Amino acid sequence: MPKYLITGGAGFIGANLINRLIGEGEIICVDNFNDYYNPEIKEDNIKKFKNNNNFRLYREDICSLQALDKIFNETTPDIVINLAARAGVRDISSAQLYIDTNVTGTANLLEMSKKYNIKKIITASSSSVYGNQNGEKFKENMKTDRPISIYAATKIAAENLCYSYSHLFGLNIICLRFFTVYGPMQRPDMAIHKFTKLIDKGLPVEVYGYGETARDYTYIDDIINGIKACIDYDTNFEIFNLGSGEVVKLKYLVDLISKQMNKKAIIKQMPLPKADAFYTASDISKANTLVGYEPKVKIEDGIEKFVNWFMHERIC
């Protein structure tokens, strides 16, 4: 059975990925349970795995090379999947937080992967690396030299480090640019989750960019299928967009949630924060051609599933 070391395994995407992989391999979950959002949510995300013999949890920080060395040495993983990050584009108060986890943490994992001859590394990048574009769909070969958030700048740096490690030391690395992921366990700071909570409570929903912005929203199951396909794909280095390929206006999204909740949304129009892109839109033809990535969940169905989870399963 393959051994997967998954960083950020207690987070939204990580816990969904463990849920899928735990029947097929051993999971080594590394997470520092930081308080970027309520750590009780992260505890809840992984509680069902704790008694599974295929699950091992390390409450450690990927910024500690020493901690990682011990984990790699004890567990000898085959594949590293790096999902730990300081996420979110809007916090522009301190670059250090982003640099520590997203750059130093990634560099530490690459260093350990080199030392312990890891067969494959998959690391989470983001659609944010594209910044503001001119109406075209985002393709992997577009320039990413104008990041508009500190988060994006650190994700670009991490991708570049991955390329260097692959080129210099022959590591096999895939960087995945996720496009706004949603579904059960979604981070509470993300728009769909926040809007649903506010509509549920009858509180005003702050709609940035006056509702005119647009996003490529990707349902979590499609992202997990994409990661799975990459686990099985042999390459030295590759970057793939994982999106839905569809673009949804913010206004339409709020309407959908409101209809699904059967509650009216009170809208508060707001300007677009400087760190937010006006739109995101994935060209997924490369992932489709090379790894057979084919997202299936339409936004209308995904929002229905999310709202069901929100109403019946979330803990806070």
Ligand X SMILES: NC(=O)c1ccc[n+]([C@@H]2O[C@H](COP(=O)([O-])OP(=O)(O)OC[C@H]3O[C@@H](n4cnc5c(N)ncnc54)[C@H](O)[C@@H]3O)[C@@H](O)[C@H]2O)c1
Q: CB 8 → ligand X: shortest distance, Å?
A: 3
Own/partner pairs, 135-140, CB within 8 angstroms, 24+ separation: 135/279, 136/281, 137/281, 137/282, 137/283, 138/177, 138/241, 138/280, 138/281, 138/282, 138/283, 139/241, 139/283, 139/286, 140/177, 140/239, 140/240, 140/241, 140/283, 140/286
Q: 65 or 267, CB closer to ligand X?
A: 65
Nearer to ligand X, 154 or 260 (CB): 154
Which CB, 100 or 200, lies closer to ligand X? 100
Nearer to ligand X, 149 or 170 (CB): 149
The residue among 164, 17, 59, 22 whose CA lies nearest residue 103 is: 164
Q: From the candidates 4, 151, 217, 279, give the one annotated as an active-site residue.
A: 151
Q: Quick one: 65 or 263, whose CB is closer to ligand X?
A: 65
Tokens of 281: 């839109």
Residue type, 224: I
Write down the least CB distance from residue 93 to ligand X, Å.
17
Rounded Cα–Cα distance for residues 47 and 43 (Å): 6
Query: Are β-strands 204-208 and 181-182 bridged in parallel, bridged antiparallel, or unpaired?
Result: unpaired
Q: Least CB distance from residue 126 to ligand X, whole Å?
A: 4
Output phi, psi for 177, to 5 deg.
Answer: -90, 100
The DSSP letter of residue 244 is -
Smallest distance, ligand X to C-beta of residue 210, A: 22
Cβ count near 78 (within 10 Å): 16
**C-alpha triplet 261, 262, 267: angle, nearest 5°:** 80
User: Does the annotation mark 151 as catalytic?
Assistant: yes
Q: How far is the CB of 205 from ligand X (least distance, A)?
A: 19
Residues that bind ligand X (CB under 6 A): 7-8, 10-14, 30-34, 36, 42, 61-63, 83-87, 101, 105, 124, 126, 178, 180-181, 187
Catalogue the active-site residues.
151
